[in-house]
Amino acid sequence: MKTREEYIESLKKLNLEVYLLGEKVENPTEHPIIKPSMNSVAMTYELAQQPEYEDLMTVTSSLNGEKINRFTHLHQSTDDLVKKVKMQRLLGQKTASCFQRCVGLDAANAVFSTTYECDEAHGTNYHENFKKYWDRVQKEDLVVDGAMTDTKGDRALSPSQQADPDMYLRVVERREDGIVVRGAKAHQTGIVNSHEVIVMPTIALRPEDKDYAVAFALPADAKGIFMIYGRQSCDTRKLEPNADIDVGNKNFGGHEALMIFDDVFVPNELIFMNGETDFAGMLVERFASYHRQSYGGCKVGVGDVLIGATALAADYNGVPKASHIKDKIIEMNHLNESLYSCGIACSCEGCATKAGNYYVDTLLANVCKQNVTRMPYEITRLAEDIAGGLMVTMPSQQDFDNEKLKPYIEKYLKGTDDVPTEDRMRILRLIENITLGTAAVGYRTESMHGAGSPQAQRIMIGRQANVAHKKELAKEIAGINKKK
């Protein structure tokens, strides 16, 4: 397994084509806006080297018998599914941000089982392709991004009906040695910090959409791939000198990017689906369910930090014993643990796929994510309520460092007498970062749209809830349709 340092060095060897604020980034690992997100991924390597986290962060590979990072594991039991969620909570606690390796882990497990069943039905060789590929990923301890979300164009039209056929990534040429693809994948979490990418379709497809039923893997720096880094609220604070306080979370962060595939060649051995429209829906559903499970871990870990920061803000404001403050913090904890319980529940109720890896309970995974679209927003509202308006009206660190202004800021922004004004400023900026700033992408907004929109989960809940069975239960109790 790689160390933190080896991971960072391996990124430096990639020839990634990245654009940020209209300019090409020559060294993404050193760019001040990008570097905190790299640090978050590096934490997944750092913790895996620490003995106290060995049980959560590492596991024995089912493919090669070697000790591997759990972020490259194919789940072999419900215990693996549970440990995944616990690992994600731990990483959220350590970084207070998105640590970016979950998407690739979820993609791998979905592709593993789907290719097995696709091969059974069509006589293809995708499963062996994937096993060989993933064996290398495990042995080299690589960060793999999962790319599912297409830009979609006119949402009322199917992929093949779009005025511009590139609104969904597609095969534009089939050759004897592989395929050529064109399109884009949006909201690509962590792609600039990734060695590889697994591409999947974004929706269930019909036969006429054959060219869009494509799944494959490539190095993130393959010819024809480039990334346009997404803006985040308050992101340029990281470029300012003496903005340590203002950034809120100076060491860690997350990122998303628009990933362009400009006529990119994919060799046959890295193709996992090529026109099998009848299995596109299965792949999408399995990935979505795994990823909806993930949110019961990562968002909870970040929530732990936010709750802690909010409780500190109450202490620094001098109101920790106020009954309404205590009740609001209790409610924050109640909501956070409710999210966690859903993540654990869908893991415990998981089962083996035909391919042998373990899959979450689909209904409970979607319930988990549906709760995530709501509860973090209430946790955020309560945090902002307790923190107070100073969280968003506070002077900058440059003002604080000004010889004339500093005494006034220290005097008038003081809370309790035993807490330095600077400490109060720092905790308020951390709350701002998680709820409104750069970390809000990985906590607040991603809670709504990550792993599919809220309506996508409601559709799955409607399909999986088995209301017909519940009607029969009610009829039996009520004595309906019984023979006299």
Tokens coding 441: 């992408």
| Catalytic, out of 7, 72, 98, 310 | 98
Phi and psi torsions of 233, nearest 5°:
-60, 135
* Catalytic residue list contains 189: yes
* Catalytic residue list contains 102: yes
| Catalytic, out of 78, 189, 353, 373 | 189
Which of 437, 463, 451 lies closest to 248 in space, CA to CA? Answer: 437
Listed in sequence order, the residues at least 6 apart from 240 whose beta carbon sits closer than 8 Å to its beta carbon are 246, 398
| Catalytic, out of 17, 256, 276, 432 | 256
| Catalytic, out of 17, 276, 432, 446 | 446
| Catalytic, out of 127, 195, 255, 291 | 291
| Catalytic, out of 45, 58, 102, 358 | 102
Distances (CA, A) of 27 to 7, 173, 191, 194: 15, 33, 14, 14
Q: Give me the sheet containing 225-229, strands edge to edge.
A: 23-24, 18-20, 225-229, 257-267, 178-185, 170-175
| Catalytic, out of 118, 234, 298, 346 | 298
* Catalytic residue list contains 114: no
**Radius of gyration (C-alpha) of the chain in whole angstroms:** 24
Give the DSSP per-residue string, 271-287.
EEEES-GGGHHHHHHHH
Which of 46, 90, 71 lies closest to 305 in space, CA to CA? Answer: 90
* Catalytic residue list contains 403: no
Listed in sequence order, the residues at least 6 apart from 183 whose beta carbon sits closer than 8 Å to its beta carbon are 150, 151, 166, 167, 168, 169, 170, 261
Q: For residue 319, how many other CB atoms are within 10 A of its CB?
A: 16
* Catalytic residue list contains 73: no
User: How far is it, in rounded angstroms, from Cα 83 to Cα 90?
Assistant: 10
* Catalytic residue list contains 342: no
Helix residue spans in 320-420 (DSSP H)? 323-348, 362-372, 375-387, 390-393, 397-401, 406-412
According to DSSP, residue 34 is labeled T
According to DSSP, residue 395 is labeled P
Amino acid, single-letter form, for residue 302: V
Tokens coding 147: 């790319």
User: How far is it, in rounded angstroms, from Cα 443 to Cα 440?
Assistant: 5
Helical axes 375-387 vs 323-348, angle rounded to 10°: 160
User: How far is it, in rounded angstroms, from Cα 345 to Cα 175?
Assistant: 45
| Catalytic, out of 126, 133, 229, 295 | 295
Tokens coding 466: 């088995």
Residue numbers annotated as active site: 98, 102, 189, 256, 291, 295, 298, 446
